[in-house]
Chain A
Amino acid sequence: MKLVTTGLALVLAGASFAAHAQQAITGAGATFPAPVYTKWGEAAKAAIGVQLNYQAIGSGGGQNQIINRTVDFGASDAPMDPAKLRTGNLLQFPTVMGAVVPIVNIPGLAAGELKLTGELLADIYLGSVTKWNDPKIAVLNAGVTLPALAIAPVYRADGSGTSFVYTSYLSTVSPEWKDKVGAATSVAWPAGAGAKGNDGVAATVHNTRGGLGYVENSYATRNHLVTTQLKNKSGRFVTPSKESFAAAAEAADWPHVQNFAVSLIDLPGEKAWPIVSPTFIELPKDPKDPARTAEVIKFFDWAFRNGNAIAEELEYIPLPNAVQNTVRSIWHSEIKGSDGKALY
């Protein structure tokens, strides 16, 4: 009798848990867009009842998880290799654009004071420039006294789309970097120390005297980190700001790329910030659980319609409306449920 009562109680408790688990969707991947996805998730839960569980494990991890179909969607700053998209039967679409900014920790220097160029950043991360008062840095910063501190470069130790964007930039501006190291989510960094996640890099640079790192822009603004100016392709020094990011995003050539994998690195433009990148979501085209994929599409559709203000507040750049509509048509044509009908 006791056994029956206990069994009945457990079954009813389990049923009540099942009732509370509403439409929940899981995603994993890049830390680059994690702030905006989290905020979208909170707003969407209140607005349309979709509960988002997003794990920021790095772009490499996100790509791996969605290929193994352990999550409902994968997030990656590095566009997935087209061959892998084909074999994994995945659809890739962009959600927002963000910028990667260099951050420094030099005693006495305020945000936006230090001027750097891409080649100089490549030299520092290659280990050929080791002190802050090196002549190559001093010549760009005439009015600033640079201390004789060792430069402490910090990079992402985990497989990271932010690293992919940054190393793509370094490969574009420095032939030596492209030759020796290359661009990927994980490379063999010649100098510096590693940290885990955008937040790890931000914390390490904050703690290290003479630190230099690269993070997604919203981490720099939220933690009040000291950013630098960068020289863009047109030869002007620009500070990281909504205007400079938007100037780069305007020059994007969306219609002529495959899988939306447009490059916003080092684009020409007087005001353009040189390190901007879209961030992507990968969805299965033949989902095992079509209801959950439909929830994912509903979430991102809501985010396109209502999430622009949140994205801009966090200093990301929303996608242009034309691109959002292209994405919607791709959802409709590519993602089918088990009965062959479109899920959107």
Chain B
Amino acid sequence: MSDVVTTRPGIRARGRTSAVGDAIFAALTRTAGVFVLVLLGAIIVVLFIGGWPAFRAFGPAFLVSAAWNPVTHRFGAVVAVYGTIVTSVLALILAVPLSFGIAFYLTELAPDWVRRPVGTAIELLAAIPSIIYGMWGFFVIVPFMAQYIQPWLIDTLGDVPVIGALFQGPPFGTGILTAALILAIMIIPFIAATMRDVFLTVPAVYKESAYGVGCTTWEVMRSIVVPYTRVSVVGGIMLGLGRALGETMAVTFVIGNTNRITTSLFGPGNTIASLVALEFPESEAGSLKLASLLALGFLLFVISFIVLAISRLMLRPRVSA
């Protein structure tokens, strides 16, 4: 009897191994969590230290100066920041209504046999690498814009008093509008997929009771589904915005790579990511240009943080609810 007991692992022994296993697992997960914080801190510190020579040389004027002159070594952040914000906001303006339409269609209006293929197509769009979008944009969209859309818009709307200023300049095909268009196409899958998934989580009983009192499909969507999923919808939009702010290769091909601010939508510009991508390889270590590029990276980080803070602010629980 005692032989059998000693050869089988006893309960006390299993408890000891299990306790050790628990401790190891807890330590591993804690390390993973801390690792994220450490990584974030390390990136912030490296960017700030790398960009410090630029901040010290130019002071607060770095944030408002539109200069970017490698010959006289004067650099400023305004052009890149302006380009980043304008292209991302324009991309959102183009993408959000379309994504909402896609999600609405997929959840409410589409027949069953359409839902699966269209849903899969959306997810495939999200998986396409961004440089493919850039190359497709450069070889397909840019010539189309340069030969048909931009000349037509310049010729018809260029002379109109107020909005004509948006449609000035030679039809390069590249520019702020084209970049915003490509960005919009890139972020639609994220926003649409998020919206569709959360629209499907609305309990059927809410929608059915609304239909029961005579609401139309649009009223159900507007008054039941969207308020119920408000938090996640805004989260999806912020996800898309975050991707648009940081997008590098797709934008570099189609934005025109110019360090100037123009009022025209067809004017070329630069975003922080595309400027760094273009000028980083040629910047010598220790030069003011490299420090300015790293400072721009730090500014992009700050912009993303502000965007996240705004989204949190929009999602705080409403007192009246």
Chain A residues near B (Cβ < 8 Å): 57-61, 63-64, 67-68, 149-152, 154, 157-159, 181-182, 184-189, 192-196, 203-204, 207-211
Contacts and interface: CB of A to CB of B under 8 A. Distances in A.
Interface stretch (B91-99, B102-110, B142-150, B301-309): B142-150
B170 interface: yes
B174 A185 contact: no
Interface of B: 67-71, 138, 142-143, 146-147, 151, 169-175, 252-253, 256-259, 268, 278-279, 281-285
Nearest to A62: B282
Given A150-B170, A194-B268, A203-B138, A188 B281 contact: no
A64 to B, nearest CB: 6
Given A57-B281, A204-B172, A182 B71 contact: yes
A188 B66 CA distance: 11
B282 A58 contact: yes
Given A150-B171, A196-B278, 12 more contacts: A58-B281, A59-B282, A60-B283, A67-B284, A68-B285, A149-B170, A157-B278, A158-B278, A158-B281, A189-B258, A196-B253, A204-B172
Contacts of A68: 285
B71 A60 contact: no
Given A152-B171, A159-B281, A204-B174, A209 B257 contact: no
A152 B283 contact: no
B70 to A, nearest CB: 4
Nearest to A195: B257
Contacts of A64: 281-285
Contacts of B284: 64, 67
A188 B68 contact: yes
Contact of A159 (B67, B175, B259, B282): B282
B173 A207 contact: yes
Return the 5 tightest CB-CB contacts between A and B, nearest first: A60-B282, A159-B282, A194-B257, A152-B170, A157-B257
A187 B252 CA distance: 18
Contact of B147 (A63, A189, A204, A207): A207
Nearest to A153: B170
Nearest to A149: B170
A164 to B, nearest CB: 11
B280 to A, nearest CB: 9
B258 A208 contact: no
Nearest to A157: B257
13 contacts: A58-B281, A67-B284, A68-B285, A150-B169, A152-B170, A152-B171, A188-B69, A189-B259, A193-B256, A193-B258, A196-B252, A208-B173, A210-B170
B168 to A, nearest CB: 9
A207 B282 CA distance: 27
Given A150-B170, A204-B174, A194 B283 contact: no
B257 to A, nearest CB: 3
A181 B67 CA distance: 13
Nearest to B142: A207
A130 to B, nearest CB: 9
Interface secondary structure of B, over-half rule: loop
B151 A209 contact: yes
Contact of B268 (A60, A149, A159, A193): A193
A151 B256 CA distance: 15
Contacts of B259: 188-189
B138 to A, nearest CB: 7
Given A68-B285, A186-B70, A159 B172 contact: no
Nearest to B154: A150
Given A188-B68, A193-B268, A196-B252, A61 B282 contact: yes
A204 B253 CA distance: 11
Contacts of B174: 193, 204
Contacts of B279: 158-159, 186
A46 B119 CA distance: 51
Contact of B170 (A59, A60, A196, A208): A208
Contacts of A61: 281-282
A158 B282 contact: yes
Contacts of B146: 207-209
Given A159-B281, A194-B256, A151 B268 contact: no
A207 B281 contact: no
Nearest to A130: B170
Contact of A187 (B70, B138, B268): B70
Nearest to A194: B257
Nearest to A160: B282
B258 A192 contact: yes
A57 B277 CA distance: 12
Contacts of A151: 170
Nearest to A205: B172
From A61, A68, A182, A193, residue with most partner B Cβ within 10 Å: A193
A57 B169 CA distance: 30
A151 B68 CA distance: 23
Contacts of A204: 172-174
Contacts of B68: 188
